[in-house]
Structure 1
Amino acid sequence: MTEQANTSMSSTAHNWTSDLAIDGNVGPDPDVCHCCSGTQNSLTSWWMVDMGKRFPVNQITVYSRRNDKDYQQLAGFQLFFSNDTMTFKLIGNNARRNSDTKHELTFPSIVTRYIRIQRPGVLTLCEVRVYEGECQIGHFGDECSQSCHCADDRPCDAVTGHCQSPICKTGWIGLACNKQCPQDTFGDKCTEKCFCAEGTCTNNHGICRGKCRSGYTGSHCNEVDIMKTQNQTVHIGSEHSATKIIGGAVGGSAAVIVVAVAVSIIIFRSRKRNSKDSKHDYATPEITAAQTGTEYDTLDNLNDNQGQSNNSYENERVSAF
């Protein structure tokens, strides 16, 4: 029994207080040793111990007073376990062994904090000894019914399930290493991803039970399917190419139209400019008085001028000879 253990009873007879049942003295005669706990006669009498914290328990031995067959102050008692003071679980008597003053009860490990012994009438017991049990490796909790998954198959705490190893087995997480990896994750600390078409992959090795989701391949369904990705890229690229061709054709047509309009404008302006220049080239020049004199030449004047020119020529020729 632990140092933190506290005892109580439904009533007290002859100053046989509840703490005498865990003083280490097995009796067997309370009238002589004053080493037993006893209650008054009641419809239901009980004795209880609070061990201070939860323990896995697999055996309890209860010592009665001498000649209890005559007194019948412990016969047919019942044993209850609880982790609070409100709800108690009755433990069966299938593994009970009785010999004189000794009643030995064994059972699979049960994690408990409170132990209660009760019977109708007077209850007298001289000693209660509780034996701490151990859960099998990989188990903890009430009746060791919960599982822990510690790395290297190390044991976990029988009460909390906390592993002695610093990490959990592959595929498990939590303080007690009793939670499988969430959906679509696996591996150490559940850091790997899988993409199964149906359900999820195994939490340890990440194996999908069926096909992979579209776009994924591999034994874990976490590798990108390159072939499908390329096919999708080519298909999308073809659509883009068609769009570019159509856009190029439309753009080319628009460019041709713009060039044609520009050429037309240039030709039109050139012709207009040439037309203006032609009018100036063929216009009749104005005759001014400065160019012709004040009078027009007559035929007589022309003849006189011609005669003068001939005479001058003759004179120049005679002089030369």
Structure 2
Amino acid sequence: MTMHSRGLLLLVSLCCTIITADQNNVNVAINKTYRQISTYPNTGAASNAADNNTAGTLGTKTCSHTGSTSEGVGIPPNVYHWWEVDLGRIYPVHNITVWARKEHNSDIFFDRLYPFIITVDNKTCVNVTSPTSNIIRSNSVTCSSVMYGQVVRLTLTETNRTLNLCEFQIFVCKEGFYGLDCSSPCDKNCDEGCNMTSGFCTRCKKGFWGPELCHHNCSAHCAGPTCQRDDGNCEECQPGFYGEGCSRACGYCQVNTTCHHQDGHCLAGCVSGFAEPLCLQVQVKQENWVVPVVGSLAAALLICIGLVAIVCWCRRSREETEENDQRVAPPVEPESTQDRDRPSSASPISDADTTVYGIIDKDDAEEMHVQEDNYADRALYMQLSPRASDEALLVNIELS
């Protein structure tokens, strides 16, 4: 393919794209409500600026014209002249074309249109200081971004100048197309078109859902053909189904009845043998003897626990008492050596003791009333007459 052929093909393709895009546009400024700061008598009505006629002559009443006071004389001083259109509802405003006035002598009244600012619901869309060409009356401008609004206003940015506006066009995409050039078709499942900028569906066709492009099918168990746009939940379920997307089957509800479409409980109760509220589990019947037997066992268990607690408490109390007695008992003093050597009255006296007593003078013994065969008297004698006892012990040692 030659270079000339490629250039021709590119030009044809570009022209076709432009034509297609133009066909998908629509001017929404026509047949709406119009206002302006003031009106030049007889020829300058505000509606002339959006009558779909771009001829641009004042005499044919195709242009708007400001400048008169309420009395019809002079230009209001220190005022910025403006013109506006109320679109009736919110549109995505982006592409705007303005047309200047031209008379039969080919003069273009650029000073009656420039410089200007366009606002959408009082927010700046674009600020234009001069025309793009000194010989072209139209000027296509775009907002800095797509702006959604209803009232679009053009205002001169210099005072004490009248405004002549011969056509004001706001182009948006036709229903079924979106994009800056309106060349993209909306999704096939969109109903009533789509967002002219993003392409998101305005509404979904019956049987479809999705937060953006309606690509999901509604559940087959929905009672109607539609479901909620954002999550696909059915507004009502077919009899016998409930839950999210009506995807869960009801339990064993009474014959010819159904369950609640949200929580699934049977509206008229369960068939015999199934437990409410969902009627999915088999109901277990309790015999009449079960409750008394279970109650008796529980009472016996409580009694046993009480007895064990009492026994443990009594044992613990006894042990604590014994421990306290041991703490308060006086200590036992150890025996002295003298006490250990001294014979007890209850202890038998050894032969050595007898020998001692045997050598004591009889008269002394009779005087002390000591009997030889009386162990208690002998002990008493030993306690009362330690000297005699010592002497006897000495004699006993010598004899031995």
TM-score (norm 1): 0.43
TM-score (norm 2): 0.36
